[in-house]
């Protein structure tokens, strides 16, 4: 038997004020964008904002539905919009925040499994890392240098060869 270890490094900041200006601005836009989410069932509004390699910005919010399996997360809304608006342009960074109407919004949260897989696919498509800036409306901020760090054994096109 061989034993293997997977580790990665990420940055943790005490607040949005400790971020570089560009990252703080992107995160502020994501926080503002939570107001555009459609979350009448969970009351958990997620906003995402991407900085594209061409300097443009693209946003996404979660969109719930009474038929629960057909809702879509903010990250996948954002990836779909980015791919539709700028099909040949990589994403540099994505800031993700949330407003929890039933509780606190004071710590970073990470994308769900489906979104992690979608982010890994987008990185592979463009052969370009996507930095993730994760935070609530206040509190600590987590910066992950590559989205694929969240899904170390993701399914890829290589698995279908």
- Residues catalogued as catalytic: 75
Separation between Cα atoms, residue 53 and residue 57, nearest integer Å: 9
Cβ atoms 16, 135 nearer than 8 A = yes
Residues 6 or more apart from 160 whose CB is under 8 A from it?
none
Q: How many CB atoms lie within 10 A of CB 54?
A: 10
Residues 6 or more apart from 90 whose CB is under 8 A from it?
52, 53, 126, 128, 130
Report the candidate in 141, 145, 146, 150 with the shortest Cα–Cα distance to residue 27. 141
The single-letter DSSP state of residue 70 is G
Listed in sequence order, the DSSP H helices in 34-96 are 74-85
């Amino acid at each position: 038997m061989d034993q293997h270890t997977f580790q990665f490094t990420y940055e943790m900041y005490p607040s949005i004020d400790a971020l570089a200006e560009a990252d703080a601005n992107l995160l502020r836009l994501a926080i503002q964008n939570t107001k555009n989410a459609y979350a009448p069932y969970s009351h958990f509004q997620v906003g995402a904002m991407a900085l594209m390699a061409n300097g443009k910005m693209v946003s996404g919010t979660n969109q719930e539905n009474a038929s629960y399996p057909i809702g879509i997360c903010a990250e996948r809304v954002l990836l779909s919009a980015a791919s539709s608006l700028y099909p040949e342009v990589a994403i540099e960074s994505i800031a993700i925040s949330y407003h929890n109407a039933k509780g606190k919004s004071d710590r970073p949260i990470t994308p769900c499994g489906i979104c992690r897989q979608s982010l890994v696919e987008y990185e592979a498509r463009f052969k370009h890392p996507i930095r993730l800036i994760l935070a609530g409306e206040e509190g600590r901020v987590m910066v992950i240098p590559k989205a694929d760090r969240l899904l170390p054994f993701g399914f890829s096109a290589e698995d279908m060869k």
